[in-house]
């Protein structure tokens, strides 16, 4: 009987570990990488403007808002008219199934009954407004498998984007450093 209780306790403990891992932070569901860091004069950068390029309309507002929140934590403020930096936020889409290369997951016909597998990536490039020197670069991406009829849950996605932008900007020097 003691071995049975010990096995159940061990199994319950393993289940708790798995559930805790699944309940991890939302940002961990989106991968990120820094492609260029820190060749600039970060102490002099006080403001930035944003150029949202090729972002699908339904993503644009909240992706930019979450980037703004994370970037402003670095001590810079947004000013699209006059700024030291320009942040380019660009969407890339990679279909993983060769037969689906022509299918746009954002414009699906109702009659299409296939699961779409793709990588959605957002590339971020920060450059000096004067001269255009690139001073930072990074990318966030997520693998998607979308069933017919599924839609994006923007509330949970927004929280995941904020966490991921904070993570990818972790090494970006804060203003004044």
Kind and range of the H or E element at 157? helix 154-168
Q: Between the CA atoms of 141, 147, 152 and 158, what dihedral angle is there, to the nearest 10 degrees?
A: -40
Amino acid 54: pLDDT: 86
pLDDT by residue (tens digit) across 116-164?
777 888 999 999 999 999 999 999 988 766 665 555 555 567 888 899 9
Domains with residue ranges and CATH for the chain: 26-168 (3.30.160)
**Could you give the CA distance from residue 121 to residue 119 in angstroms, rounded to a whole number?**
6
Compute φ and ψ for 8, nearest 5 degrees.
-65, -40
- pLDDT less than 70: residues of the chain: 1-29, 98, 100-114, 144-156, 176-177
CA 142, chain centre distance (Å): 8
pTM: 0.72
């Amino acid at each position: 009987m003691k071995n049975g209780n010990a096995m159940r306790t061990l199994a319950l403990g393993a289940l708790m570990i798995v559930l805790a891992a699944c309940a991890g932070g939302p940002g961990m569901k989106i991968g990120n990488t820094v492609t260029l860091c820190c060749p600039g004069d970060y102490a002099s950068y006080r403001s930035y403007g944003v150029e949202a390029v090729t972002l699908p309309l339904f993503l644009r507002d909240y992706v930019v808002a979450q980037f703004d929140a994370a970037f402003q934590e670095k001590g810079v403020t947004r000013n699209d008219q006059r700024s030291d930096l320009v942040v380019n936020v660009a969407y890339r889409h990679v279909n993983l199934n060769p037969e689906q290369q022509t299918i746009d997951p954002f414009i699906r016909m109702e009659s299409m009954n296939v699961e779409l597998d793709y990588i959605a990536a957002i590339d971020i490039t920060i450059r000096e407004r004067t001269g255009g020197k690139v001073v930072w670069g990074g990318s966030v991406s997520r693998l998607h498998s979308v069933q017919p009829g599924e839609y994006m849950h923007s509330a949970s996605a927004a929280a995941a984007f904020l966490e991921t932008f904070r993570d990818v900007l972790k090494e970006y020097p804060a203003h004044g450093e």
